[in-house]
Amino acid sequence: MSWQTILAIGSGGFIGAVLRSYLNGVISHRVPHDLPFGTLGVNLIGSFIMGVLVAYFMYTAFFSLHIKSFLSTGILGALTTYSTFAIESFMLIERGSLTLAFLNMGLNVFGTVLMAGGGFYTAKYFIDAAN
């Protein structure tokens, strides 16, 4: 891996981590609930954007390797958070909130896959329409 790629991923990671903290806080403040909507929100948003980017990466030659690394591994890798989702789900189980825990797991796992697919097909539609 080149130093340029490492720099692209690292700088994107900084931006994504700050965005995650900010968006998580905004969502959690606006939607107060026992279910961790902040983490769910950043995971759903990030998955949709990743779907869009993958479609553009596959069907256009617009992005360089460094830009792809900056956007996907850097920004979106730091924006979305599997480990936080995992510990929040565990803590819901630990305190006996099984319904919320399984709802959180289902929304994160299936919701992010649906959002990634939705982003992919949305971008593919616009790419195809432009051609």
pLDDT of residue 62: 86
pLDDT tens column, 52-65: 999 999 999 889 99
Number of domains present in the structure of the chain: 1
Determine the residue type at 8: A
Sequential DSSP letters for 21-52: HHHHHHHHHHS-SSS-HHHHHHHHHHHHHHHH
The per-residue pLDDT of the chain, averaged, comes to: 95
Tell me: pLDDT of 123 over 90. Answer: yes
Q: How far apart are CA 56 and CA 130, in angstroms?
A: 12
Task: Write out the residue range of the structural domain in which residue 96 sits.
Answer: 3-130
pLDDT of residue 21: 97
